[in-house]
Amino acid sequence: MTTPDAPVLTVDDLTVVYEVDEPVTAVRNASLTLHRGEILGLAGESGCGKTTLAYAVNRLHRPPARIASGRITFHDRTGEDIDVLALEDRDLRAFRWDKLSMVFQGAMNALNPVTTVRAQLRDTLLAHRPRMGRKEIRTRSEDVLRRVGVDPRRLGSYPHELSGGMRQRVMIAMAMLLEPQIMIMDEPTTALDVVVQRDILREIVRLRDELDFAVVFITHDLPLLLEISDRIAVMLEGEIVELDTAAGLYHNAKHPYTKKLLGSFPSLSGERGAFIRTGIDETASEIGADLTEERA
C-alpha cells in the first residue's frame, strides 16, 4: 500500500446537527487527516454518521442538517489551502467533481435511465470544462471507461442495458472523469455479488496506484476495509473512536467497539479472524498481480 504523503484534506472538530424537534448530533467533534494517495476506510454500523460526515466534507447537506462547528481544509496540489466551509455557491460547484468527487450509496441507480452513458459523461465534462472540444470529450470518455474495465462501445448504451457491475464502474468512471484529488466512495459495492465486488475493489486499488488520488472508502464491512485500506477510522454514535493503520487496528485494537467489530465476523475455516488476516497479509500490489493473472 502507498505510504501516506502530504495531507490533501484536514477535518478539524467537525460537528453536524439535524435541527428537528429534538436536535440530533449526527457527527460530533470529528477530526481526521487524509493523505495523498491514501485509502482511508471509514467503518461503523448503519446510522453511526459515516455518510453524514462524507456529505459534510462535500457540502451536500440540506436543512434540517447543519454544520454546527469545525473546519474542513482542502490542500490543493498548487499549494493553496481551501476553506471548504467558506466556499460560495459558484466556487463550491467548481470544487465538486473537479477537486473532490463522490460515488454515492446506491450509485447503481444514480445514472439517468433515459440518457446514454456518452451523454452523461459529456454533460459532466462540459459543466466543468466548457471549452473542451467534441473529439477531446470522446477521447476522455473512452479513456475513463477503459480504466474501469468497461468497453468504450458501451458509451452508446443506456443504464438498463448494463449489468449492475457495469453501472457501478460507470459511476466510478464519472467520479474520476475530471481527475479529482479525492474520491469519496459511500458503500460502492453494496448489492453486488462477491465476485463482482472483489473485481471492482481491485480496480479501485489499481486506479489509486496509477493516478495517485486519495480515497475515503465508507462501509460497515470491516474485513473489506482491512484488506484495501492504508488506515481505518471507526465511528460510533457520531464520533471517531479509533483511527489507526489497517494492520495496527487488526492486531492491536484499543476501543471496545472496534474489538467487537473485529470479533463479529466468523471464519469459514473455524479460526476467528482467519478471513480478516488474509486481507491484512495480502498487499495492494499482490491484489493487482492477482487481477492481471486472472485476466491472463
CATH no. for residue 48?
3.40.50.300
247 found inside a domain:
yes
Residue with cell 489507526: 244
Looking at residue 38, its pLDDT comes to 96
pLDDT at residue 193 greater than cutoff 90: no
- Chain-wide mean pLDDT for the chain? 87
For 116-155, give the DSSP string.
Answer: -HHHHHHHHHHHH-TT--HHHHHHHHHHHHHHTT--GGGG
Share of residues in the chain with pLDDT > 90 (%): 68
Looking at residue 72, its pLDDT comes to 98
273 found inside a domain:
yes
168 found inside a domain:
no
User: Which residues span the domain enclosing 250?
Assistant: 7-88+218-295
**What are residue 69's DSSP bridge partners?**
15
For 171-187, give the DSSP string.
Answer: HHHHHTTT--SEEEEES
Note whether 137 and 168 are within 8 A (CB): no
263 found inside a domain:
yes
Residue with cell 466556487: 91
Strand 39-43 relative to strand 81-83, pairing: unpaired
pLDDT at residue 169 greater than cutoff 70: yes
98 found inside a domain:
no
Give the total number of structural domains in the chain. 1
Looking at residue 268, its pLDDT comes to 56
237 found inside a domain:
yes
Q: In which band, very low, low, confident or very high, does the pLDDT at 264 lie, cut at 50, 70 and 90?
A: confident
Q: In which band, very low, low, confident or very high, does the pLDDT at 202 lie, cut at 50, 70 and 90?
A: confident
144 found inside a domain:
no
Task: Give tens-digit pLDDT for 94-150.
Answer: 999 999 999 987 766 788 999 999 999 999 999 999 999 999 999 999 999 999 999
Cell numbers that stand for 283 in this block: 498487499
Cβ contacts of residue 14 below 8 Å, gap of 6+?
A: 27, 29, 30, 31, 53, 56, 67, 69, 70, 71, 72
Q: Phi and psi dihedrals of 40, rounded to 5? A: -105, 115
Q: In which band, very low, low, confident or very high, does the pLDDT at 270 lie, cut at 50, 70 and 90?
A: low
Cell numbers that stand for 114 in this block: 433515459
Residue 129: Cβ-neighbour burial (10 angstroms; 0-12, 13-18, 19+): middle
Looking at residue 266, its pLDDT comes to 67
* 3-state DSSP helix/strand/coil % of the chain, to nearest 5: 45, 25, 35
Looking at residue 58, its pLDDT comes to 94
75 found inside a domain:
yes
pLDDT at residue 66 greater than cutoff 90: yes
Looking at residue 188, its pLDDT comes to 85
Residue 120: Cβ within 10 Å count: 20
